[in-house]
Amino acid sequence: MVEYSSEVIEKLLKGELPISEIQKMQMEPKDPDRFDKYIKALKQHVDWDDEILMRIHEHLYIIKKENNYVVKCSCGHEFGDYRENWKLKALIFVRDRNELEELYPEPLTPEWSELREFYCPNCATLLWTEALIPGYPINFDFLPDIKAFFQEWLNKTLENVPEFKDLSSEVTESWAKNE
């Protein structure tokens, strides 16, 4: 069975593992205890102490806070229940045609899709970009089934795991009510 030390996983995470080592890693079967070592290594990356359940993004984590499962940025900003699309709580900027030309050469500049940028309201890190047709609902890219993952795949006990359900439309519903 393949196994790596915590130090190797930490180096991989920090981008300090040489490419030759990474290539060897890619050629081997996957190490079954990776998830635990990954989570342990991630704790070194943030200044807060909440329990990390899953890393869903370079800077975003699902953490357990009391009885809630929330999305938290590495800077400490919290986006709320992980079943609500975190982008709904971010800052948004939509590039116009001229601003797109800052990014791409003219013969390739897209004309029919709009580029939306999502920033963390606290640290202003660019967290996500999406290129969709104007009017398209903000995409909820990934909603993990935390309960099935921990209890059925990892055989770990988690308390008060909420139902696996996309709650994003409840956010927009509340916005419409308060309009």
Residues 92-111 binding another protein (CB under 8 A) are 92-94, 102-111
Do the Cβ atoms of 158 and 82 come closer than 8 Å? no
- Describe the crossing of helices 6-14 and 19-27 by its angle, rounded to 10 degrees: 120
Q: Which helix (H) or strand (E) holds 172?
A: helix 168-177
- Is 38 one of the binding residues for another protein (CB under 8 A)? yes
User: Is residue 138 left, alpha or beta, with left meaning phi > 0 and alpha meaning psi from -120 to 50?
Assistant: beta
The residue range among 43-51, 67-75, 88-96, 155-163 that interacts with another protein, by the rule CB under 8 A, is: 88-96
Contacting another protein (CB under 8 A), which of 52, 55, 72, 84? 55
The residue range among 44-52, 63-71, 155-163, 166-174 that interacts with another protein, by the rule CB under 8 A, is: 166-174
The residue range among 26-34, 43-51, 67-75, 155-163 that interacts with another protein, by the rule CB under 8 A, is: 26-34
- Is 123 one of the binding residues for another protein (CB under 8 A)? yes
Residue type, 56: I
- Is 129 one of the binding residues for another protein (CB under 8 A)? yes
Contacting another protein (CB under 8 A), which of 25, 46, 158, 167? 25
- Residue 54: CB atoms within 10 Å: 19
Separation CA 87–CA 104 (nearest Å)? 24
Residues 1-20 that bind another protein (CB under 8 A): 9, 12-13, 15, 17, 19
Q: How far is the CB of 49 from another protein (least distance, A)?
A: 20
Do the Cβ atoms of 50 and 65 come closer than 8 Å? yes
Q: How far is the CB of 47 from another protein (least distance, A)?
A: 17
